[in-house]
Structure 1
């Protein structure tokens, strides 16, 4: 009997993988569960309200002149709370920014506050979540010859800051559709890679983010995303991000997302709309 009790207690500590396939979303560029560009109200991992789940991801985006990598982990607790940690690295390939290297760490917290995207099919109420992302730059590399080692030397007011957001996600199983709307309060320049605030503005601004996804079958999801961003820096022609993506969920342990992403202009010194492939691999339970 004692052995049975010990075994039962050990089992309760294991992830139960009880959520439906794909209902944890994929890993967003800043580490939270959602789409590639924007966080959703879904909690990452496949643990139900009686369990927990976790995942690790790496995402790579390549445009004509730049590359962005993002790696991190996320843990979902009781399908209610999500903790995430990510590191982003941004590099240049076109002179004079071919040695450019920007890095930032991102710590995220998300709380589901109302609704249930899966089991609330008989209600118009979406699943709602609130979240916060703390971001800190790790300096500017490759521009030492120009005397630039900090994002504040590029016009940013701070090298760290917070994003706050509210996300609403509605899953319409009858129509195989997922709708998401997120409103983010932010001062971040290019997600924070170029710091926070600047010569054009330094106050928190509300930015809309939208996602539409179609569940082609239980393992394949196709969709589009849009993310508006502030324009705080005079040296940065910041524009909205958007993409078209396909996500494949062969098992609950692995997912692969491929997209074509448009990131807009990055700097006034290279006024070219940056666009290219996006690839993300997520592994977890």
Structure 2
């Protein structure tokens, strides 16, 4: 998908005054749980973070002595294409995250026009993430995490016919995330950067590797979010994409999102996604909605 999407949400925390007060207390340092929104939302691939770009944070609100976790459902619809993603993730001691997700990519317009044998492509994703160093809030340097996403495309006939080489592959990424209290005109600012190694076509929905490029690509991703008040965040995401298939170019993704975090149990994210050209269909634009339940 080209400028897709899908987008997401982003998490952040309370006002600088509230956070400054809380950080000074033992409870804020984990004894009473992590701060609101520090588990992020769920990406379309299941990892904690934003909608299309993972963060270095660990899913859920578990502290150094606890388990945490999240379950999510996401829907994106451009009219010509749909994407439904569902999954769960578990966090252990705010150090390790593991999870499973399933994606269902619908292409009714293209299937009807080309008489394709299927109207849906499905993909299963198992992921793991390890926090290597730092803390989102309390350390002077960013939180740094290493992530792995193992992906398997379950409807490989059409992707193989358009040049995809494999029906499974692995994405490996390094994420650095930091929350700056009062960093944007007195409001909290979150910055996130990711370096990813991948050979996935449209995140793997169209298989892995291709006739134009078989090898892996090193790709950059970024997220910026600002907290408007203790429960509302707005932001943008950008994700570079590989270009492996000769029949249709793959473009970078962009989105603009709003996240609502009424409490530590619920997060809702809405986004506008410019999908660009997807598998030969141009000017794809979509709204994205994601709901997450956390612990």
TM-score w.r.t. structure 1 length? Answer: 0.87
| Residues 1:277 and 2:287 are matched in the alignment | yes
CA RMSD of aligned residues (A): 1.5
1:161 aligns with 2:169: yes
Selected match of 1:105 from 108, 121, 124: 124
Task: Give the Å deviation of 1:150.
Answer: 4.7
Comparing 237-246 and 183-192, the one that deviates more: 237-246
* Matched residue SS, 2:203: helix
* Aligned-partner SS, 1:213: strand
- Residues 151-186 of structure 1 show CA distances to partners (whole Å, capped at 9, x for unaligned) of 222210100000000000011012200000001100
Q: What corresponds to 1:8 in structure 2? A: none
The answer on whether the counterparts of 1:17 and 1:46 sit within 8 Å (CA) in structure 2 is no
Within the candidate set 138, 141, 144, 1:128 is matched to: 144
Structure 2 counterpart of 1:188: 200
C-alpha offsets along residues 119-177 of structure 1, whole Å, 9 cap, x if unaligned? Answer: 12xx2x1110000000001115xxxxxxxx35222210100000000000011012200
In structure 1, the partner of 2:227 is 215
Q: 2: CA distance between counterparts of 1:17 and 1:103? A: 40
Could you tell me which of 159, 169, 181 is aligned with 1:151?
Answer: 159
User: Secondary structure, in 3 states, of the residue corresponding to 2:278?
Assistant: coil
For 1:64, what is the secondary structure of its paired residue? coil
Q: Matched residue of 1:231: which SS?
A: coil
Please state if 1:238 is matched with 2:250.
yes
Aligned residue number for residue 228 of structure 1: 240
Cα shift at 1:234: 1.1
Structure 1: gaps spanning 5 or more residues: 1-15, 141-148
In the alignment, what sits opposite 2:19? none
Number of residues paired by the alignment?
A: 258
The runs of 4+ residues in structure 1 deviating greater than 4 Å are: none
Residue 6 of structure 1 corresponds to which residue in structure 2? none
What's the secondary structure of 1:152's corresponding residue? helix
> SS state of the match for residue 258, structure 2?
strand
The structure whose RCO (Cα within 8 Å, separation 6+) is larger is: 2
**Is contact 1:238–1:264 with CA below 8 Å preserved after alignment?**
no
Q: Deviations over 1:229-276 (max 9, x none)?
A: 0010012221111100011011111110000012221113x2x12111
**Residue 37 of structure 1 contacts residue 227 of structure 1 at CA under 8 Å; is this kept in 2?**
yes
Q: Distance in 1 between matches of 2:243 and 2:138?
A: 39
Which whole-Å CA distance do the structure 1 matches of 2:36 and 2:158 have between them? 43
Decide which of 171, 183, 194 is 2:179's aligned counterpart. Answer: 171
> Which of the two has higher C-alpha Rg?
1
Supply the distance in 2 between the matched residues of 1:150 and 1:238 (Cα, whole angstroms).
17
TM-score, normalised relative to structure 2: 0.84
| Pair 1:17–1:26, CA change in 2 (3 A) | farther
Corresponding position: 1:267 with 2:279:
yes
Distance 1:24 1:252 in 2: 9
